[in-house]
Amino acid sequence: MIINLPETTTRAINRRLVKERDEGGAIALGRVLNLLIDAGAHDPEEAIAAANDASREHPCRVIVISKDTKQRSATLDAQIRLGGDAGASEVIVLRPSGELDTHLDTLVMPLLLPDAPIVTWWPFDVPANPAEHPLGAMAQRRITDTSQVAKPPAELRKLSEVYTDGDTDLAWTRATLWRGLIAATLDQPPYEPVRRAVVVGESTHPSVDLMAAWLAQSLRCPVEVERLKDAPAITQVRLERASGDIVLDRPDGKTAALRQPNQPEHRIALPIRQLRECLAEELRRLDADDVYGEVLQKGLARIDA
């Protein structure tokens, strides 16, 4: 169900939500968190679809801010999505114009579920300092996505300078399975130090930089990054040890081959992770991701050096 509310107010939106709850039963109850999505001037539908899918695991109230690019006076258009149009959540799409766009915190505050954690997600543009952004300052967790910006590696370095506990980036989440597989291989004998690591991947994909930074910070070894144009994200990680190389290779973006000394080759399904999977993973935790913070602040510096 989609309810359009042109030229409205947050009070009117709340009244309509209460009305729908009274008429539809517990349609607006049982939410575990508030998810704020700042889509800027971009089309928010892809982000809303990902949030709807993730909400099946994390029922939440989703508040989407989609900037109205028309030159108008201070006006608020809104849309409420419930039921099949909202997954297991309830979605409120706000389209502020004029000076309303400069006071996003006061705009969303009346719509927040009380006593529920707040997560803010920027699916497109990355703010200069997520923790100081009006929507980020009120959140326990702040999610950016540097893969959507023009210069992802440079944006990661900027985020490293302003990192605050609670920050994370979906480029880090996209590399979770790679990190898990590499960590599992190093937990097996022989327990030898890694002399050098090599990460191969798409030339500007931020997951490549974060994977290399994680290896540099965790293994304290030299890490080389080989950048390929038009590659499907990370394509290979190679760890060089005295007994032979460990190689995790995924040239097609779908299936990986794990090769280790004195062992048969293992084929592993390792498709590029979808947006909804990454978002759902990040919504599972509301505490600070200390490993990400260390990799961002210290690991990147190691590979840059």
Question: Is position 41 within any domain?
Answer: yes
Q: Is 163 in the same domain as 199?
A: no
Give the pLDDT score at 255. Answer: 97
The total domain count for the chain is 2
Q: Is 154 in the same domain as 207?
A: no
Which helix or strand (DSSP H or E) is residue 97 part of?
strand 90-97
| Cα–Cα nearest to 294, from 221, 217, 219 | 217
Instruction: Round to whole Å and give the CA distance between 52 and 132.
Output: 27
Per the structure, the complete domain to which residue 29 belongs is given by 2-169
Picking from 137, 169, 201, the residue at the C-terminal end of a domain is 169
Give the pLDDT score at 103. Answer: 85
**Which residues make Cβ contacts (< 8 Å) with residue 107, sequence separation at least 6?**
10, 65, 76, 94, 96, 100
Question: Is position 74 within any domain?
Answer: yes
pLDDT tens by residue, the chain, 305 residues = 899 999 999 999 999 998 988 876 545 456 789 999 999 999 999 999 999 999 888 889 999 999 987 767 889 999 999 887 777 679 999 999 888 888 899 999 999 999 999 999 999 999 999 999 999 999 999 999 999 999 999 999 999 999 999 999 999 999 999 999 999 999 999 999 999 999 999 999 999 999 999 999 999 999 999 999 999 999 999 999 999 999 999 999 999 999 999 999 999 999 999 999 999 999 999 999 999 999 999 999 999 98
Q: Is 162 in the same domain as 182?
A: no
Q: Is 127 in the same domain as 6?
A: yes
Picking from 109, 137, 169, the residue at the C-terminal end of a domain is 169
| Cα–Cα nearest to 66, from 108, 102, 26, 95 | 95
Q: Is 152 in the same domain as 202?
A: no
Q: Is 123 in the same domain as 246?
A: no
Q: What is the DSSP string of 206-241?
A: HHHHHHHHHHHHHH-S-EEEEEETT--SEEEEEEE-
**Which residues make Cβ contacts (< 8 Å) with residue 180, sequence separation at least 6?**
none
Q: Taking the CB of residue 32, how many other CB atoms lie within 10 A of it?
A: 16
Question: Is position 109 within any domain?
Answer: yes
Q: Is 120 in the same domain as 33?
A: yes
104-146: pLDDT as tens digits: 999 999 999 999 999 999 999 999 999 999 999 999 999 999 9
Picking from 169, 190, 218, the residue at the C-terminal end of a domain is 169
| Cα–Cα nearest to 283, from 21, 34, 68, 79 | 34
Instruction: Round to whole Å and give the CA distance between 80 and 17.
Output: 8
Cis peptide before 271 (omega within 30 of 0): no
Assess contact for 296 and 207: CB atoms under 8 A.
no
| Cα–Cα nearest to 169, from 147, 144, 194, 188 | 144
Q: Is 143 in the same domain as 189?
A: no
